Amino acid sequence: MTTLRHALTRATARIASVSDSPRLDAELLAAHALGCSRETMLLARLDDPVPAGFETLVDRRLTHEPVAYITGSRAFWTIDLLVGPGVLVPRADSETLIEAAVDHFAGRAPGRILDLGTGPGTLLLAALAEWPGATGLGVDASVQALAYARRNGDAPGMADRVTWAQGDWTAGIDGRFDLILANPPYIGTGEVLPREVAGHEPAGALFAGADGLDDYRRIVPDLPRLLAPDGIAAIEIGHRQGDAVLALVAAAGLPARLVRDLGGRPRCVVAG
């Protein structure tokens, strides 16, 4: 009998041709096939028979399909999110925005949170999990993304604290917010992306004009009217866009600073 332990070794070797994290990918796919967590699998299931469907999942990964689309979920911060075709896959780098907010609100909590370009609810639901007394509004132009956000927001303790709205960035939004989160598209239209991104994730969540700054130019000027006193906006950026986005924030009359991700790259502009 071939055990899962040996199948993982073979799958890792195959996936290495399309991924920088082949072992992790293989383990996530195997756990999905088993119907258990990766941790449970590693602790107690490695000597099990190979689960039905595992090789099919590996074959899908070899077409550059993102692991999150194959398994239908992605862990982010302290929560798990349902994801799939039509939504941006949550990245660990985006947790930099939540970390920056946690630092800012040390010893207190934001009351109202706005998430611009919420996708499947990634940043907003992570923030609501962090601050159980907060309420939030998630805005996205994509009906498909909002469908995932609503499903994710149905989690216990979330449904009565969050509102979802289809919209065009800040247009039509009134009131003030203690925390504004935004992960807009920031890829230049001429940039080359990995196949699993360019071939699967929605272009509307990736590209923002020739220099990748088009959506910042629309979002940043409205921040002063939307931020509550002592509030902040945490905005994700491409690692080469720090100076440009800082200049936009300064032109809007707000103080700003850069926050780096775990890899040491500029990843977030905190405004306010």
d(CA 66, CA 144) in angstroms, rounded, equals 18
The answer on 94 and 55 residing in a single domain is no
| 68 domain-assigned | no
Compute the distance between CA of residue 125 and CA of residue 88 in angstroms, rounded to an integer. Answer: 15
In this structure, the answer to whether residues 90 and 200 fall within a common structural domain is yes
Give the domain CATH number at 193: 3.40.50.150
Phi-psi region of 230 (alpha: psi -120 to 50; beta: other; left: phi over 0): left
Residue 31: which domain range?
4-63
Alpha-carbon dihedral angle through residues 28, 34, 38, 40, given to the nearest 10 degrees: -170
pLDDT computed for residue 107 by the predictor = 87
Residue whose token pair is 């920056």: 100
State the pLDDT at residue 1.
75
- For the chain, helix, strand, coil in percent to 5 are 40, 20, 40
CB 159 within 8 A of CB 153: yes
The pLDDT assigned to 46 comes to 97
Q: Please state, in angstroms and rounded to a whole number, the distance separating the CA atoms of residues 185 and 204.
A: 7
Q: Which two tokens stand for residue 189?
A: 């239209």
| CA pair distance 89, 198, nearest whole angstrom | 12
Same domain, 82 and 182: yes
My answer on whether 151 and 211 are in the same domain is yes
Report yes or no on 70 lying in a domain: no
CATH assignment at residue 13: 1.10.8
Are 233 and 151 contained in the same domain? yes
Number of domains in the chain: 2
Residues of the chain with pLDDT below 70 are none
Predicted confidence (pLDDT) per residue in 208-235, tens digit: 999 999 999 999 999 999 999 999 999 9
Looking only at the bridges linking them, the beta strands covering 266-271 and 227-236 are: antiparallel
* pTM attached to this predicted model: 0.94
Residue at which a domain ends, from 40, 63, 86? 63
Residue 111 domain-assigned (yes or no)? yes
Same domain, 217 and 125: yes
Angle subtended at Cα 98 by Cα 38 and Cα 156, rounded to the nearest 5 degrees:
60
Q: Is 27 part of a structural domain of the chain? A: yes
Q: Are residues 32 and 128 in the same domain?
A: no
Burial class of 216 by CB neighbour count within 10 A (0 to 12, 13 to 18, 19+)? buried
